[in-house]
Amino acid sequence: MAIKPQLIRLDAQRFLKTKSAWVLVLANLIPIWGVLYDQWSIFSIVFLFWTENVVIGIFNIAKMLVCGFVGNAVGGDANVSPARTSVGRGFTSVSAMFLSAFFTFHYGMFCFVHGVFVIELLGRDKLPGGFPNPFERAIRELSGDLSFAILALIASHGFSFVANYLKAGEYKQVALIQLMGAPYGRIVVLHLAIIVGAFVSLALGSGAGILLVLIAGKIILDLALHLKERERGAINLFPRRTP
């Protein structure tokens, strides 16, 4: 599916008014410090961004549960939603638990395969042995260097969850079925760009300048996707075209 040009268009006015966008940018600046002062490698950077996928998935599970228990889980007009009745709310609550469990399994497998790919592609020389414990080895090797950056990403997504999804009422605007697929579009677009950048970085020698360009590109694309999510209620980055 083609990505519309306006999907990655940065709106300066919306950025200035969106506090979560500022927090997102600040969290994404930490890898710049890692490259300049701690000599982070391309593997460290890409593995950090893979870890962010796990964080996104955890917060999406929380979104699904909130949507099912107190939100408008079926979408549409909240004033006429079946979720407003006690029977309807019971149904949506059970649906939220079932769908969140299914999402955990499906998204977990997606992240696992993606993580193995990242480790095998970029970390084999740093983590010899690979399977059966690639993640255990990667986390042990990188946890000290990346711990603060990971905490910053958790704080960024947590702030957006509270400020946008809960306080701004985005949970009233989405349906459970939409939340099921919400993270995939963002991750596919973002990480395709990151992996392409990683290949370029490896080809050119992974110098600090190349890594900084990769990080800057990630920040710009991530910010554009974040603002687009806010515009559409944090859901459905790639909506189906109406006839």
pTM: 0.80
CA distance 150 to 148: 5
- Tens of pLDDT, residue by residue over 69-91, are 887 766 554 444 555 556 566 77
Look at 109-123, 127-141, 162-176 and tell me which has the smallest mean pLDDT.
127-141
- Tens of pLDDT, residue by residue over 173-219, are 888 888 988 888 878 877 777 777 777 766 766 667 778 888 888 88
Taking CA atoms, 138 is separated from 14, 85, 127, 128, 145, in Å, by 38, 48, 7, 10, 11
CA distance 55 to 222: 15
CA distance 191 to 196: 8
Q: How many CB atoms lie within 10 A of CB 47?
A: 26
Mean pLDDT within 23-32: 91
Among 60, 39, 53, CA closest to 118: 53
The residue extents of the domains of the chain are 44-180
Flag whether pLDDT at 24 surpasses 60.
yes
Mean pLDDT within 1-21: 57
Confidence at 162, pLDDT banded by 50, 70, 90: very high
Q: Which is higher by pLDDT, 52 or 187? A: 52
Among 170, 151, 158, 172, CA closest to 231: 170
